[in-house]
Amino acid sequence: MRLVFLGKFGELAPESLHSPALPDGVRTLADLKGWIARQSPPLGRAMALTTTRVAVNQALVRDLSHPVAAGDEIAFLPPMSGG
């Protein structure tokens, strides 16, 4: 799978998290967030401390029980600051 970490998350995410194999026991976005936090506690803390939006295959998904698959592109978005 391909994981994309935007903004400040990108600075915290280790290279090994960019294209991991689907980890054992990870079936949903909530599972994946938990797995990421175990791989990188600083990134897990940053994601827990702010409003983190998640996009699956470039579409925003609110429900963290959404399933994840090996071929997915999943992005983690901190609060946006355009304009």
Partner 1 sequence: MDIRITAQSFDPSAECAAFMAGRADAGALVSFVGTCRNETAGRAVTRLTIDHYDGFTQKEIARLAGEVAERFAVADLLVIHRVGPIEPGEAIVLVAGLSTHRADAFEAVKVLMDYLKTDAPLWKKETGPDGARWIEPRAEDHARRAAAETST
Distance CA 25, CA 31 (A): 8
Using an 8 Å Cβ cutoff, are 30 and 65 in contact? yes
Report the C-alpha dihedral over residues 53, 54, 60, 65, rounded to 10 degrees: -110
Tell the smallest beta-carbon distance from residue 46 to partner 1 (Å): 10
Query: Does residue 79 bind partner 1 (CB under 8 A)?
Result: yes
Stretches 1-9, 19-27, 29-37, 64-72: which one binds partner 1 (CB under 8 A)? 1-9
Helices and strands (H, E) in the chain, number of each type: 3, 4
Instruction: List the x/- string, 4-43, binding to partner 1 by CB under 8 A.
Output: x-xxx-x---------------------------------
Among 18, 27, 48, 50, binds partner 1 (CB under 8 A): 50
